[in-house]
Structure 1
Amino acid sequence: MWTCFRSPGSPAGTPKSPMCSRPIAGSTAPFRCQPCSAPYPSSLAAEFSGRGCRLLPMPTCGFRRALDVAVRLLTMFAVLSSVVRAAAQTSAATAPGSAGNAEVRDEGIPIRSELVRAKCGSCHRSDQQQRLSRISYRRATPENWERTIKRMATLNKVDLDPADARAILKYLADHQGLAPDEERPIAFEAERRMLEYTYMADKDTADTCSSCHSMARVLAERRTKEEWELLVAMHRGYYPLVDNQPMNGGQGFRRTRPTQTEPGPDGRPPDNRHPMDKALEHLTKTLPLTTSEWATWSAAMQSPKLAGRWAIVGSAVGKGAVYGTVVIAADPGAPDNFTTDTRYTVARTGETVTRTGKAIVYTGYQWRGRGGDAQPWREVLFVERDWRNMWGRWYTGSYDETGIDVKLVRLGSEPMIFGASVTALKSSSTAMPVKIFGANLPATPRVEDVGFGQGVSVARIVSARPDEIALEVNVAPDALIGPRDVSVGGTAMPSALVVYDRIDGLKVNPAAGMARVGGNVFPKQLQQFEAVGINNGLDGKSGTADDLNLGIVSVKWSLEEYPATFGDDDVQFVGTLDQNGLFTPSGDGPNPKRTGNRNNVGDVWVVAELAPGGGGAAAAASGPPAGAATTVRARAHLLVTVPVYMAWFETEGGR
């Protein structure tokens, strides 16, 4: 077949020809003319060229339909063959009367929710013990169950309204979740932390699984042997390239390297199994469905009683310590549901934040909440078994990059100190303003009621409230450097701040940051940095155990080129860094002002600099007064990369 297309420069204004299939003179091939701006020519290709048309070969419609059908059949065959292979591998274990069959028959968890059985039972068959295929042989975190429910709705067309989806998620997370001791090591996954995590238990498993997603997502599952095998089969069916696509270990799910014949360093014969088979063996042994941790927790689990007033002690990169309270109220109409009224203060700046929110607790200890209107914040907290402590992360941002590490402690009637507005006091300082944050503090404290240890005296009490005492302190020239407790009346907070004599060094946090360009099509990912002052301690040596962390200091921020190639110009295009340490990337997409029309991506150094005696009043108001004898510099690496173009099944993190 041939197609006639109008070429650039053809005469305009002529009527378009209809679709046709008239033969070309001198050619035995059938001819098909697409609509173009020139009338249909009646002779050879030269005349077509003269009219501004060009002839291109193209497959016939019948051939294209056949090709499409063939591709669909091959895809279906790949999925079915993967499942059949997995079933064949487990047939011996699941044969009647075999030990493997007894294991599967005994391990399944009955599904007693009528809603789950009604919505899921049409595809997942039930047995006499109310166990549903696939579902009853798996435990997972709320986030992993949520991904499964979304996949069922989007790919398998399960009809669920939001209320039913939430109820199913709650049931599965409560009855087939993880125990606290199983979840604790991977809490960072639900908290959406940006960190480096290396799974040390088995390198082959880590290489196979963490090439596409975090290893913590795998560790958030518990399955039977057959279920792990079916999960691998599903991956191979949905993503056929994983069999041979090189991953972290240089191989895919199947072995692509030559068979090894020489024994290893330990003298053992080489293990020539496929990487997926090695991973399956490890996952089956390490993450089984039935564990003592889950047996203990599922028997002891109950709805937590969290209503009351809680202290907030937190820390945010670039802002420092935050202190406040949250009032939690139980929802009488919905078990494990709560409302929150939160108020906290950024200690360094005095900025106050208030917001209300809602939360739900899964599996008796996994708090998932959200609050705020214009800028919603997600809340992921781990409720300790005593119901007196919670810890985790609150976060916001297009990529969950802005967050606060928080710890919540249940408040009673006794006084409690949360912390101070400063993290360090310099020797030879006078009338230094300090605020003490807490709860149930004395309403009319006296100077002698407040203490900071030897060499630090309270000059006067400026104001006092039950949650905050403002005062001024003097630090003697000979005050010993080191950590100091802060006391008010009959309560004290150990190591609330430090006394120092000079700033010996700086440290930029995080040491390696990442931002994503955006703003045109995709959102931007910001990156916040902070500079922390360091005192070398009593031994005068840096990098030793007695070094003092002075907290955030005010510095001069700048960007410098991270040379990766000749003529590198990333620093001119990647974005801007303000004097609070917040990096904002440039727009996404090609930049015509850049050589090669490249995107605004690249590597740069983020540099913090503190001049001798610099900082002035700003430093004194928001951090330790400057005390560097010479110019002090520190830097961190920043990678500015592309947006996340496709985010599959993003978790909601709460209600």
Structure 2
Amino acid sequence: MERFIKSYLFSILFILGISVVFTGDLGFAAEVDGRAVIEKKCSQCHFRENGKWSRIESQRKTPEGWEMTVTRMQIVNGLEISPEEKRAVIKYLSDEYGLAPEEVKDYQYLLERKDWIVEKFPESLSLAQTVCARCHSFARAALQRRTAEDWLLHMDFHVAAFPTAEYQSGGRNIDWYGDAKRVAKEILAEQFPFETQAWTAWKSKPKPDPQGKWRLVGYQPGVGAYQGTVEITRTQGDSYKETYTVEYENGTKVSGTGTGIIYAGFQWRASVRTEGGQKARQVHFISEDGTRVTGRWFLPDHNEIGGEDVGYKIGSGAKVLAVSPKAIKATQGAISLKIFGVDLPQNPQVADISLGEGLLTTKVISADSNTLVVEVAVDGKAPIGQRDVKVGPVTGEKLLNVYDKVDYIKIVPDSAIARTGGATAPKQFQQFEAVAFSNGADGTKGTEDDLDLGLVKAKWEVREFFRTFDEEDVKYVGSIDQNGLYTPGEEGPNPERPFETNNAGDVWVTATYQPDGARPLMARAFLIVTVPRWNKPPLR
């Protein structure tokens, strides 16, 4: 009976979002011995079997995965552990029982909080989709490695902790427990085993050193492209301090500082704050050779708001990374072009810069090792298509597009979810963007040679998605501003709405753009506005 009550409370606590014991921030490390904490506070239940802690040393996870495990021990079993001790335990387990770069790369979108990703499943994973991905993302399972026995025990845990899995919608028409055991044995244990060559090899390799200066290029939906520099210095062990400055295409400059920690030798987690006081979290991944880092940053309370970037270590070799603008109209005449890179050739001359047929560099306005500003003469007969950008011996492939006209626009994303809020939970916004395209050289829409011309200033509207009579979702579910940011309505029953229902519903989001001298172009996206998400674990 006691075990049933604990299971019931565990389910209810997570449904209600009692997640305050999540550290929420893996960017700080404590001066505590994680192994000693486990020995003292965990080994009474996870006793040693053949020299290993039971269950603990039968699985491997990301830092977020281990954080969720320790949090569950707090909620269900009453584990008393300080925030410093908890961070130390997560650090130790992530280093000793973590994942290799190869094991993370296909599913890092979940760690980056890209909750809008629609997962696609091969036929070999169809049963796992039914059993696992009905309640949470499949990436949540795929970012773990367990022994065959532990995968089976994990299914037993699911039934004990979440008994409704067997009889809720989508589960009661199948033998959920039987299928779960099959998935554990035939799929998870085979495709995501505890012992792998990738992890064994990674454990023995020298780990990359992130210290130094990095050149950064990135993109934030709703704001635009940005570029800048980051300097990372070690404070102690695997803990670091960072100082950064970036500049957006629109001229906005942002500077700040932060603290970060590296898990498993390559997973960077940091907390940063701008000079204006805006906080953000970073989830990044360092390449095995230590010269490249990729990832995403996001706001703590609004993970949907953030940006993606890639950084290259200064001194690791010359690269051309991006240009602004990224599209040039063939009839434009002349244009100033910015070329962003790292370790670019010094004192480049006009003859050193090549943009392809019909684009002639006429002047180098300014130049340093990170940025070139050049003046370009555009021949009205310049061929339509993608161009490489060459600065001396260094080439950035397909960075620049030459087009004749805007043929159509798309809304990105073309389907999305927003969530009401404002009382018990923050609202979940949705940033839409209108992107212009050229049909490319073949003149046909939707083919491989279509050219992405970047964002356009569109007129945004919300229109009814007709599902039933007199629904009038548009009146209640929220609104969109003229920068494409959708703000959902307030949470809870609305007495002004028929049946006093919530401000939930589904609508079309439309964007209209009129190119100079051409007919208006329109695109639309489908938006579901639903209730708040109270439970926000790191992996969803």
Q: Give yes or no for TM over 0.5.
A: yes
Are residue 237 (structure 1) and residue 197 (structure 2) matched? no
Give the deviation of 1:506 after TM superposition. 0.8
Q: Tell me the residue number matched to 1:632.
A: 521
Is residue 207–residue 249 contact of structure 1 (8 Å, CA) maintained in 2? no
User: Take 1:362 and 1:414, find their aligned partners in 2: how far apart are those partners?
Assistant: 26
The 3 A distance-change label for structure 1 pair 557 and 292 is same
Give the deviation of 1:76 after TM superposition. 5.9
The alignment partner of 2:78 has SS state of coil
The alignment partner of 1:185 has SS state of helix
Is residue 340–residue 356 contact of structure 1 (8 Å, CA) maintained in 2? yes
Give the deviation of 1:174 after TM superposition. 1.0
Give the deviation of 1:294 after TM superposition. 2.1
Which residues of 2 match residues 475-624 of structure 1 at below 5 A?
475-613=378-516
Match of 1:115 among 16, 37, 42: 37
Are residue 352 (structure 1) and residue 253 (structure 2) matched? yes
Are residue 136 (structure 1) and residue 39 (structure 2) matched? no
Give the deviation of 1:484 after TM superposition. 2.1
AA matched with 1:288: P
Match of 1:212 among 108, 121, 135: 135
Q: Tell me the residue number matched to 1:369.
A: 270
User: Take 2:306 and 2:171, find their aligned partners in 1: how far apart are those partners?
Assistant: 30
User: Take 1:385 and 1:77, find their aligned partners in 2: how far apart are those partners?
Assistant: 43
User: Take 1:315 and 1:342, find their aligned partners in 2: how far apart are those partners?
Assistant: 16
**CA offset digits 1:247-279 (Å, max 9, x no partner):** 36843634xxxxxxxxxxxxxxxxxxx222322
Larger Rg: 1
The alignment partner of 2:440 has SS state of coil
Give the deviation of 1:286 after TM superposition. 2.7
Contiguous gaps of at least 5 residues in structure 2: 9-32
The 3 A distance-change label for structure 1 pair 440 and 236 is closer
Is residue 527–residue 583 contact of structure 1 (8 Å, CA) maintained in 2? yes
Q: Tell me the residue number matched to 1:192.
A: 113
Q: Tell me the residue number matched to 2:195.
A: 290
User: Take 1:459 and 1:220, find their aligned partners in 2: how far apart are those partners?
Assistant: 51
**CA offset digits 1:124-183 (Å, max 9, x no partner):** 1124x4311111212122111111111112221222122221111111111111222222
RMSD: 2.7
Is residue 504–residue 534 contact of structure 1 (8 Å, CA) maintained in 2? yes
User: Take 1:214 and 1:398, find their aligned partners in 2: how far apart are those partners?
Assistant: 20
Match of 2:244 among 328, 332, 342: 342
Give the deviation of 1:196 after TM superposition. 0.7
The alignment partner of 1:113 has SS state of helix
Q: Tell me the residue number matched to 2:74.
A: 153
The 3 A distance-change label for structure 1 pair 560 and 472 is farther
Match of 2:85 among 145, 164, 171: 164
Q: Tell me the residue number matched to 2:125.
A: 202
User: Take 1:479 and 1:184, find their aligned partners in 2: how far apart are those partners?
Assistant: 39
Give the deviation of 1:535 after TM superposition. 1.0
AA matched with 1:387: G
Kindly indicate which of the two structures has a greater share of residues assigned to strand: 2
**Number of residue pairs matched by the alignment:** 511
The alignment partner of 2:53 has SS state of coil
User: Take 2:488 and 2:392, find their aligned partners in 1: how far apart are those partners?
Assistant: 49
Is residue 34–residue 89 contact of structure 2 (8 Å, CA) maintained in 1? no
The alignment partner of 1:242 has SS state of helix
Match of 1:299 among 204, 207, 224: 204
User: Take 1:461 and 1:587, find their aligned partners in 2: how far apart are those partners?
Assistant: 53
AA matched with 1:403: G
Is residue 528–residue 583 contact of structure 1 (8 Å, CA) maintained in 2? yes
Are residue 389 (structure 1) and residue 310 (structure 2) matched? no
Is residue 309–residue 328 contact of structure 1 (8 Å, CA) maintained in 2? yes
User: Take 2:385 and 2:485, find their aligned partners in 1: how far apart are those partners?
Assistant: 30
Are residue 436 (structure 1) and residue 339 (structure 2) matched? yes
User: Take 2:387 and 2:88, find their aligned partners in 1: how far apart are those partners?
Assistant: 50
User: Take 2:316 and 2:500, find their aligned partners in 1: how far apart are those partners?
Assistant: 64
AA matched with 2:76: L
Contiguous gaps of at least 5 residues in structure 1: 1-71, 80-110, 255-273, 614-627
User: Take 1:612 and 1:552, find their aligned partners in 2: how far apart are those partners?
Assistant: 12
Higher relative contact order (CA closer than 8 Å, sequence separation 6+): 2
Q: Tell me the residue number matched to 2:174.
A: 251
Which residues of 2 match residues 404-443 of structure 1 at below 5 A?
404-412=307-315, 416-440=319-343
User: Take 2:328 and 2:172, find their aligned partners in 1: how far apart are those partners?
Assistant: 51
Give the deviation of 1:414 after TM superposition. 6.0
Is residue 208–residue 252 contact of structure 1 (8 Å, CA) maintained in 2? no
TM-score w.r.t. the length of structure 2 is 0.87
User: Take 1:275 and 1:414, find their aligned partners in 2: how far apart are those partners?
Assistant: 51
The 3 A distance-change label for structure 1 pair 250 and 392 is farther
User: Take 2:330 and 2:191, find their aligned partners in 1: how far apart are those partners?
Assistant: 54
Match of 1:227 among 145, 150, 170: 150
